[in-house]
Amino acid sequence: MKSRAPRDRSFHKATIYDVARHARVSVFTVSAVVNNNSHVSHTLRRRVENAVQKLNYRPNLLARGLVKRQTHTIGIVVRDIVNPFYPLLVRGIEDAAHKSGYSVLLCNSDDQRDKEEQYLELLLSKRVDGILLNKAPGALSSSLRQQLAEAKVPVVSLMRISRDLQGDAVVTDDAKGAFDAVSHLVRIGHRRVALVSGPLSVSNAKARWNGFCKALERAGIERERELMVEGDYHIDSGYRAGLSLLPLRPDAVFLANYLMTVGFMKAADEIGLRCPEDFGLASFDDYPWLSCFRPRLTTVELPKYEIGSAAVRILLERISGKRSRRALIKLTPELHVRESCGFMLRRSDAQDDYLSPREKTYPASGATAFQGVSQV
Amino acid sequence: MKSRAPRDRSFHKATIYDVARHARVSVFTVSAVVNNNSHVSHTLRRRVENAVQKLNYRPNLLARGLVKRQTHTIGIVVRDIVNPFYPLLVRGIEDAAHKSGYSVLLCNSDDQRDKEEQYLELLLSKRVDGILLNKAPGALSSSLRQQLAEAKVPVVSLMRISRDLQGDAVVTDDAKGAFDAVSHLVRIGHRRVALVSGPLSVSNAKARWNGFCKALERAGIERERELMVEGDYHIDSGYRAGLSLLPLRPDAVFLANYLMTVGFMKAADEIGLRCPEDFGLASFDDYPWLSCFRPRLTTVELPKYEIGSAAVRILLERISGKRSRRALIKLTPELHVRESCGFMLRRSDAQDDYLSPREKTYPASGATAFQGVSQV
DNA sequence: TTGTAGGCGTTATCAA
DNA sequence: TTGATAACGCCTACAA
């Protein structure tokens, strides 16, 4: 019998051997009790449970992961958690993951390919069971693609799709969102509508650009190329866009995300133009605080929480082998009309938020509230 | 020689044995090359490197963690990543951690003790090397305290301190922040100043409450108890506070965080009172978007990014054993005067943001920018 | 029902 | 400098 050296481990966390010895049973029995699989007689079970309690035993999940080849951990790579778009998305992920016994390793790629690859390799080394990826522009290195395939670590794309990542994806109908917003701008009388888009190398920026074009086309408005500028989703590019666009005095502007809107508003401030009196504005991404500061923004809201939870659902199906067909989930955005578009100027009897009464409820930011916020 | 069974693993990730066999060396040599510790002859090193490359070998960090007893992973428990206060803090953590080769496991406690304990036990089981904890109100169970101590997993408290957690902590000078803000309100002429505080069971809410009181006292203003209400840091409590406070027509109000301010503004809207014309307002927590929407908020900014990176610094010192003395870092907040306090009403020649010219720069949200944003 | 022993993929010790 | 082999803590055939 090659029994483990029972050396002094009074200063170490208890192991399954310690428990076994304490309960005068074998490690098998302890394992069976802890994992609740094999049948264990009542007496032994009690002995084990007592020992577990007394020794404060907690199984070492590293060791378990090593033998079971799964860690119950998923990796999530987003551009930057500080971008207000991501927190709710990440929360949707974490909630869904936690509910299924998974933990979340958070990585910020800053939209840089090398950082992204570095993180992906790290996640692979840490043997995560799956990855949620908000891909940076550019293709994944073939070596990495191969490693992902060999290791059989499923990847679900978030918000963005790219040709080199042919797996599952959860996206939003960005073309429709942009189309709705711009159509609304046109409907209430704006003709010369400007666009500040995201980087066109990113699929959703492209889609929003297309939605913009389609809305103008549908309205029979010829688009003016100098009113369309490509930003990069950051504050500063919105600011620069504002400085270059506003002197052209468009009737309205559509911005592809919130951060650029912040920059754009700053530029308007400096130039001395006011929204919605001097120009109408609609943008992507809604936030709880948008309806109580002026101008109240007309926005296209994406179901961020849902995106996260849907992605986890797909990922776990993939991990458990329950899914074989490719999943491509496209969630529907929702237009929230407020006053920045200029709507209120034309219909003074209109109610705030007439399209989205839900906005009025002001849920707290607790978990239960999210469900209300983000259900589509 | 009890050599490992060389069974078919063409569909598994390569192990150190595969590399060793491929390079015709022992596992020791491979390990030595990979970790770059022992001296390995040039030829063998080349052979190993080639094999590593060819097999796409990446060491299994689970196995390594098991034997080295450290995972290079830290856990971080915050109330809720969706609360806009946390993303920048978390980013500060992740950046600092990543720079030192650590990964971050993200947990949302929703400020609930049971959820918090559940996560802490999980983190312990996953054998994180340390924990950053934004403590929920209430004491830690003694069992958990004991486990943390036994496992020698250091914990650094974030933002909040509690009697039962006598370890390191990184906090902000909340009393001073509140004092400065309220003193400013008083200085520009407000006499009846209301307070919406956070939950007094939380140390920083208490500190802000005290700072408020001290400022009034210093100004020789008697405080009116009915103008002081205790909220819970969520939007809805700010909303309710607004509904009950505003009819009392205070000159100004000081709110202990941003979420409650959002709710408060909503209430003001509904009641039909305007800021700063009808009441002055100052609150905690500054955000990049606050200076381009009306009313522009006068805020007390906490160095969120710095809090995160400082906490990681302490934690890593603790992990590496370089620190023995208790660290209690208190970072200094900074008052950003804008127009919600009513300042501009009285000095029409005043410049926006005269106290914080840095605000004007609008950094992108990339990592480098943060450093600029958050340096104290 | 319970125990034994081998293996998961590393690192580390001790010889060679 | 290298190699063989014992931990690390757990799960799990296979035996009893």
Domain count for chain B, please give it.
3
Whether A214 is covered by a domain: the verdict is: yes
* pLDDT tens-digit readout, A129-155: 999 999 999 999 999 999 999 899 999
Whether any strand D atom is under 7 angstroms from the Cβ of B40: the reply reads: yes
| Structural domain for A26, as ranges | 11-59
Global pTM reads: 0.91
pLDDT, mean of residues A243-271: 97
Question: Do residue B79 and residue B99 come from a single domain?
Answer: yes
Hey, CA dihedral for B61, B63, B69, B75, is it positive or negative? positive
Any idea which nucleotide's C1' is nearest the CA of A7? D7
Q: With cut-offs at 50, 70 and 90, classify the pLDDT of residue B2.
A: very low
> What pLDDT sits at residue A345?
61
Q: Do A115 and A161 fall into the same domain?
A: yes
**pLDDT category, A373, cuts 50, 70, 90?**
very low
How does pLDDT run across B291-338, given as a tens digit for each residue? 899 999 999 999 999 999 999 999 999 999 999 999 999 999 999 999
Percent of chain B with pLDDT over 90: 84
pLDDT at B349: 38
In terms of domains, do B240 and B316 share one? Answer: no
Q: A160: phi > 0 → left, psi -120 to 50 → alpha, else beta; which? A: beta
State whether B209 and B352 are in the same domain. Answer: yes
Check CB contact under 8 Å for A127 and B292.
Answer: no
Of B104, B124, B362, the CB nearest to A235: B362
Confidence at residue B362, expressed as pLDDT on a 0 to 100 scale: 25
Residue A189 lies in a domain: yes
Q: Identify whether residues A154 and A291 lie together within a single domain.
A: no
Is residue A138 domain-shared with residue A159, that is, in the same domain? yes
Residue A17 has pLDDT above 80, yes or no: yes
Task: Identify the pLDDT of residue B10.
Answer: 58
Q: What CATH code is carried by the domain that includes residue A34? A: 1.10.260.40
CA–CA dist A233, A353 (Å, integer): 26
Q: How confident is the model at residue A164 (pLDDT cuts 50, 70, 90)?
A: confident
Indicate whether B193 and B246 sit together in one domain.
Answer: yes
Computed over every residue of chain B, the mean pLDDT equals 89
Q: Which amino acid is at B37?
A: N
Encode pLDDT of B229-240 as tens digits.
999 999 999 999
Residue B270 belongs to domain with CATH number: 3.40.50.2300
Contacts of B27 (CB under 8 A, 6+ apart): B16, B17, B20
In a domain, B1, yes or no: no
Q: Please report which confidence band the pLDDT of residue B9 belongs to, taking 50, 70 and 90 as the band edges.
A: low
Quote the pLDDT of residue B354. Answer: 37
On chain B, the residues whose CB falls within 8 A of the CB of A88 are 82
Q: Tell me which nucleotides of strand D come within 7 A of a protein CB.
A: 1-13
Residues A201, A347 share a domain:
yes
pLDDT at residue A238 is higher than 90 = yes
Residue B6 lies in a domain: no
Strand D contact at CB of residue A69, distance < 7 A: no
Are residues A256 and A125 part of one domain? no
Tell me: do B298 and B187 sit in the same domain.
yes
Indicate whether A105 and A240 sit together in one domain: no
Only one residue has tokens 């066109």, namely A200
Q: Per-residue pLDDT averaged across A69-81, rounded? A: 97
Residue A222 lies in a domain: yes
How confident is residue B79, by pLDDT bands cut at 50, 70 and 90?
very high
Of A86, A87, A266, the CB nearest to B292: A266
Confidence of residue A163 (pLDDT cuts 50, 70, 90): confident
Which residues numbered 23-52 in chain A sit less than 7 A from strand C, measured from CB?
25-29, 32, 38-41, 43-45
Residue A2 included in any domain: no
Q: Is pLDDT larger for residue A273 or for residue B348? A: A273
On whether residue B321 sits in a domain, the answer given is yes
pLDDT at A364 over 80: no
- Do residues A272 and A342 both lie within one domain? yes
3-state secondary structure B341-354: CCHHHHCCCCCCCC
pLDDT value at residue A28 = 95
pLDDT over threshold 90, residue B152:
yes
Helix axes A42-55, A16-23, angle to 10 degrees: 120
- Residue B322 domain flag: yes
pLDDT at residue A298, as a whole number: 96
A70 pLDDT band, cuts 50/70/90, is: very high
- Contact (CB<8Å) A90/B83: no
In chain B, residues with a C-beta closer than 8 Å to the C-beta of A366 are 80, 110, 234
